[in-house]
Chain A
């Protein structure tokens, strides 16, 4: 699924997306960065509350193409700069982790069936 489709499906805001046609092959929800390091699959969108530069670093290492920040939290400038440098998309939603995961999970499942 493209990031553009995924953003539409979850009703999120495209804060900074270098390529709307970039592929997301799954999603992973966690606020523990060590957990993300250990388990986030390559190509998955990270759904998290962690709005700082270290999240970008972790996503770079695990190959996550996008970060969806939940609860509508502000995205600081240094995080935006780091994400731009690493080519990682930044999305935002006012949903919590559960509802954001639910919407993206449904969209991914629908995409697989299509």
Chain B
């Protein structure tokens, strides 16, 4: 089910094209990297078995006001009945025949742990109105259409706005006392070595502009870079956040998996689970967390195998910006 089929294209002007131009707002780019297909898709599915008739599919689509019905049995995905398929069946006089016979089976599917940016590229490339979503076990877990994406982005943008407003309130409060408040978040994708280091570099540039001491900048940059690389190498993707306030810089790396089995072991110098390919790039020598701890005044790591990991490095900034 990898070749494009009759999956109901949409008009070109409905295509999002987001993330391709390079001129999209940064906050949107971060969102579409951070959000996964599973965060956005419709998981509450209306489905039919293969032996249901095309007429039943037509009726279900009319009742539920949907433009496609996945055909599945016990989680196993067989195909999709689209409006095009219904029209063809009506014209051919096969509307009473089974969905299994007339559904579209050559389909492009998405996986639930793909980043949303990937889904947007697929919408752009194939011009389809929807994509079935499968999990790692190839079971049907949802369906995603552009309306789902618009809705999710609106929700996330509202959250982001609320967060920025709260930051603005805090900044105003602390500003009155004359101190500085900075906050940024960077989504980090697994194995995205092309962009690894960009977050740390941006942090360094901001601190240089604010005229922080060179030694402090280097300590913060080391912590940020190592945590960024750790997210890139060891996690399924996560977020590196960074904030400066009240005489301290906090660099926090959060991910949703796969988690560390033995945190104490992972923090020892020279221990690493990185593969040969990663080592050949000069990473995975087991020095990352050691370096972070070395440059930090406070260091915390919490992790659970099968769940996520959070690493927090705090660096005291005596006297703040110069």
Q: Is the CB of A32 within 8 A of B287?
A: yes
**How many residues from A make CB contacts under 8 Å with B?**
22
Cβ of A16 within 8 Å of any chain B Cβ, yes or no, is no
**How many residues from B make CB contacts under 8 Å with A?**
23
Residues facing B in A26-57 (CB within 8 A) are 31-38, 42, 48, 50, 52-55, 57
A-contacting 9-mer, from B25-33, B125-133, B219-227: B219-227
Cβ–Cβ < 8 Å partners of A62 in chain B: 218
Give bound CA distance, A62 to B295, whole Å: 13
Question: Known interface pairs A54-B196, A62-B218. Does A34 touch B287 (Cβ–Cβ under 8 Å)?
Answer: yes
Give bound CA distance, A61 to B287, whole Å: 17
Main secondary structure of the interface of A (DSSP, over half): helix
Give bound CA distance, A33 to B196, whole Å: 12
B282 in complex: contacting residue of A31, A60, A63, A78, CB < 8 Å? A31
Residue in B closest to A52 when the chains form the complex, CB atoms: B281
**Chain B 284-322: CB-based contact to A (< 8 A → 1; otherwise 0):** 010110010010000000000000000000000000000
Q: Is the CB of B291 within 8 A of A61?
A: no
Give bound CA distance, A36 to B287, whole Å: 10
Cβ–Cβ < 8 Å partners of B291 in chain A: 34, 37-38
Cβ of A58 within 8 Å of any chain B Cβ, yes or no, is yes
Q: Is the CB of A50 within 8 A of B281?
A: yes
Q: Is the CB of B225 within 8 A of A57?
A: yes
Q: Is the CB of B218 within 8 A of A32?
A: no
* Least CB distance, B307 to chain A, in whole angstroms: 25
Cβ–Cβ < 8 Å partners of B283 in chain A: 33-34, 54
Residue in A closest to B279 when the chains form the complex, CB atoms: A32
Give bound CA distance, A57 to B160, whole Å: 29
Residue in B closest to A35 when the chains form the complex, CB atoms: B287
User: Can you report 24 residue pairs joining A to B where beta carbons are below 8 Å apart?
Assistant: A33-B229, A33-B282, A34-B229, A34-B285, A38-B222, A38-B291, A38-B294, A42-B214, A42-B218, A48-B282, A52-B193, A52-B281, A53-B194, A53-B197, A54-B282, A57-B196, A57-B197, A57-B198, A57-B201, A60-B197, A61-B204, A61-B222, A62-B218, A78-B194
What residues make up the interface of A, taking CB atoms closer than 8 Å to B? 31-38, 42, 48, 50, 52-55, 57-58, 60-63, 78
What residues make up the interface of B, taking CB atoms closer than 8 Å to A? 193-194, 196-198, 200-201, 204, 214, 218, 221-222, 225-226, 229, 281-283, 285, 287-288, 291, 294
Q: A34-B229, A37-B291 are in contact. List 7 more A-B contacts (CB 8 A).
A: A33-B229, A35-B285, A50-B281, A53-B194, A57-B201, A60-B201, A62-B218
